[in-house]
Amino acid sequence: MNKIRKNKLGKAGFTLSLIALLVGWIPYVGTIGGGVLWILGITFSIIGMLRSPRNLALAGLIISLVTVAVYVAVFVIAGTALVGYGLFNY
């Protein structure tokens, strides 16, 4: 009888990354909670990539990296806009 292999860390990493992506846009709650969930999600996804099957771990890793790229882009654009409007004159 073949035993179905499960990757619980990969599944947890995917779930946490997805929740971090959704919660991260809520003001105040998302900033702290989304950051903590993102760190846990990317950690579990990386560990899950070392096990088989890797499907959900890879999806969680991609979601985490895309989420970080979007957050960085949003903050860079917002910071550039604030400096451009002269709100931060040093």
pLDDT per residue as tens digits for the range 3-45: 888 999 999 999 999 998 888 888 777 778 888 888 999 999 9
Structural domain boundaries in the chain: 8-84
Kindly report the number of other CB atoms within 10 A of residue 22's CB atom: 13
Is the pTM higher than 0.85? The answer reads no
For residue 25, which phi and psi values (nearest 5 degrees)? Answer: -90, -5
CB of 32 within 8 A of CB of 20?
no
